[in-house]
Structure formats: C-alpha cells, structure tokens
Amino acid sequence: MQSSVISIARAREGFSDLVNRAAFGGERFVVERRGKPLAALVGAEEYQQVMSLLSQTGVQTMFRSIPVRIRFDGDRYFIDDEIVDLYGAGATLAEAQNDYWMTVQEAYADLAANESHLAPHLQKQLEFLKKVVVAQGGDNP
C-alpha cells in the first residue's frame, strides 16, 4: 500500500481520523511541512514488524562508498561493515553514522602509521580505506 502525503496542518485537524485509518485500515501517512517530510504515521502492528526486521536483519546500504548494514534495536542504531570489520553506534542514525566515520578515520590513521609492518590482509584494508578516506576529502595521517 502506498503512503499518502499530508500537510502537518491537515494532520492536526484530523489526527484522530488518521490514527484510526492507520490502526484499523492499514493506511500510511507521511506528514510534511512546506514539502519536507517530518514524520510517518503507521499502525502499531506494522511499526513493530518494521522494528523487528531492522533489529534482526538490518538494512544493507552504502555509506560514504562503504557497503554497510544498519540495524536498530529499539534504542540505538548500529552500523557495521564486512570489509574492514568496523562499527559505529548512536541514539540516532546521524550519531551512528558519525561514530562509524570517526572509527573509519581512526582505523585508517592507525594502519597508515604502521604501513611498513602490516600483514597482507591489513595492507588490503589500508588500501581500501585510503581510497574511501581520500575520496571523502579526508587528510592523510
């Protein structure tokens, strides 16, 4: 089922009706202000299903050219990858992304500082991180 987009003013006027339509009719609503989405209204059962999926399997996506998985356990977001085996966490997705990116930069700096002594698998990680960090405008350590 498609989501209906409604203004915050319209949502305010008919909030009780929208809640009933979401809870009992399975409808979804995206509430926006001046064309910018602010919130979504879905039934509680659908919300629990989505939260369960995010907690169990997460979402595969790209973050700054790194394939990552994002999970949410109901309280915190977690981002991890399988290439360098790094992770980040935060109360919001933005916090988790920031934490993950700081971890990437720290790992890059650490590997680069010890480049002449790295095992082959760590040299591969360094080369991968070098491409990612430089592409994102990061400085060499």
Closest CA to 59 of 28, 96, 33, 26: 96
Most distant CA pair in the chain, distance: 66
Q: Torsions phi, psi of 45, nearest 5?
A: -65, -45
Average pLDDT, the chain: 91
Q: What is the pTM of this model?
A: 0.70
Q: What share of the chain is helix, strand, coil (3-state, %, to 5)?
A: 50, 25, 25
- pLDDT value of position 1: 66
Strand 28-33 and strand 3-7: pairing? parallel
Q: pLDDT tier at 2 (50, 70, 90 boundaries)? A: confident
Average pLDDT of span 62-70: 93
On whether the CB atoms of residues 1 and 26 are closer than 8 A, the answer is yes
- pLDDT value of position 141: 39
Q: How far apart are CA 33 and CA 111, in angstroms?
A: 46
Higher-confidence residue of 39 and 57: namely 39
Going along the chain from its start, the domains and CATH numbers come out as 3-42 (3.40.1620.10), 59-135 (3.30.160)
- pLDDT value of position 138: 59
On whether the CB atoms of residues 79 and 86 are closer than 8 A, the answer is no
Q: Torsions phi, psi of 140, nearest 5?
A: -75, 140
**Dihedral, CA atoms, 76, 79, 82, 83, nearest 10 degrees?**
-150
Report pLDDT digits (tens) over 82-140: 899 999 999 999 999 999 999 999 999 999 999 999 999 999 999 999 999 888 775 54
